[in-house]
Amino acid sequence: MWVYRGYKNIQALNADKPRFSPGWAVGGFFIPIYNFIHPLFVMIDLWKSSNPLVDINDRYSWKGAPISLLVYLWWLLLAFLFVGTSVHFMLHGTSHYTLSPQEIISQMQVARVIDGIGVIYLLVSSILVNKILQRQERKNVQLVGLTIPIDRSDRGVSVQQLTNGKQQELQYEQNASFSGSSLESDVKQSEIFNRRLAKCPFCNGKDIYDYAIKREKSVIEENKISYIYLFKSACSKCDAIWYWRDKDTR
Amino acid sequence: MEIDLGRYRSLKTRSGWLVVFLMIMALMRAWSIFLSNAYIQFAQRIIDGKTVTLAEAVDLDSQSMSIYAFGGIASIIFYYHIVHVGLQRVQEYPSP
């Protein structure tokens, strides 16, 4: 699931032509012998495509991104476990009830080394998973909130009014339903529809302003209409802005 | 530049659970190392001609089985969580 979702995110992060489809990225792990090298390809793609420093306007620039030694270290440990476990099983796969004490000692010494490498591999895997998560999050934030400067003039206009829940909902509808020309002009037209205590992804500040920018599409599901809205959020502490989508079911 | 923002889904939850699973597996491996040491000491005592009991051998083997059982249960919980949460989140639209 992690690999599938991570791989599916590659194109959403504006990186085109990964090596595999998300399905094959997972499926490759189950092909005997080939699954020795497949994890390396998958991790390289995940690592390179999540690089936040490449030109995000170029959908192919990620292919030239550097690969961390951590990825190779991770694969080397995996390869060692792959080979080591197979050889160990072939040599000592029989029950130890039939082994002499000397044979048990040699078998357990090898097992100890393999398990030790296994612990290191699992720790490195955890680090790699976290790194890829952070890189994908960073690149996503960079993609959706990069260029438009914050306009402080539209702050504080309607925060007081929004203490009334009904007004808030009306304004939400007003702001969300207009279909403006560009995002920039939409932002200028809209007022703050919500102010909330939420964590800023950039500075950990906890004062976020939300703007409903536009309603993008509606979907009818089980006799309910779901609207997908595009929002702009701004942090009052660091002035960062970002866009995000949400679904509202009526 | 056209970017389909809606397709991005955060790996936060999945990564969290995956790391928990990896840590459980690491714990199992560490436990296995201790057990290997115990087996080595047990075999060494036989070589040295010291007394060993059947109960000690049974205890070592039961610990060995416990590791497999522990790993099996952890795996079942993990995969159940993945399927369950995965199905629940099909319609989710996260924010960054």
Task: Check CB contact under 8 Å for B11 and A111.
Answer: no
Q: Residue A30 is which amino acid?
A: F
Task: Check CB contact under 8 Å for B4 and A119.
Answer: no
Above 90 in pLDDT, residue A197? no
Packed helices A38-49 and A101-144: angle between N→C axes, nearest 10 degrees? 30
How far apart, in Å, are the Cα atoms of B24 and each of A99, B18, B44, B71? 30, 10, 30, 8
Q: Which of B23, B82, B91 sits opposite A126 (nearest CB)?
A: B23
pLDDT for position A178: 33
Task: Check CB contact under 8 Å for B22 and A11.
Answer: no
Packed helices A101-144 and A69-92: angle between N→C axes, nearest 10 degrees? 150
pLDDT for position A159: 30
pLDDT tens, residue by residue, A85-127: 888 777 766 555 667 778 878 888 888 899 999 999 999 999 9
CB A92 within 8 A of CB A100: no
pLDDT for position A138: 78
pLDDT for position A144: 61
State the Cα–Cα distance between residues A110 and A112, nearest whole angstrom: 5
CA nearest neighbour of A80 among A121, A35, A42, A51: A121
Which residues are within 8 A (CB) of B63 and not within 5 positions of it... i.e. 6 or more apart? B35, B38
Above 60 in pLDDT, residue A241? yes
- The model's confidence at residue A22, banded by pLDDT at 50, 70 and 90, is confident
**Of residues A74 and A167, more confidently modeled:** A74
**Of residues B56 and A147, more confidently modeled:** B56
Q: Average of pLDDT values for A170-194? A: 41
- List the single residue in A with minimal CA-CA distance to B42: A101
- List the single residue in B with minimal CA-CA distance to A120: B26
Each domain of chain B, given as residue ranges in start order, spans 10-88
Give kind and range of the element (H or E) at residue A104. Answer: helix A101-144
Above 80 in pLDDT, residue B96? no
- List the single residue in B with minimal CA-CA distance to A221: B91
State the Cα–Cα distance between residues A127 and A81, nearest whole angstrom: 18
Closest approach of B69 to chain A, Cα-based (Å): 17
pLDDT tens, residue by residue, B15-74: 888 888 889 889 888 988 988 888 888 888 888 888 778 888 888 888 888 888 887 887
Residue A126: other Cβ atoms inside 10 A: 19
pLDDT for position A68: 87
Residue A201: other Cβ atoms inside 10 A: 19
Task: Check CB contact under 8 Å for B11 and A136.
Answer: yes
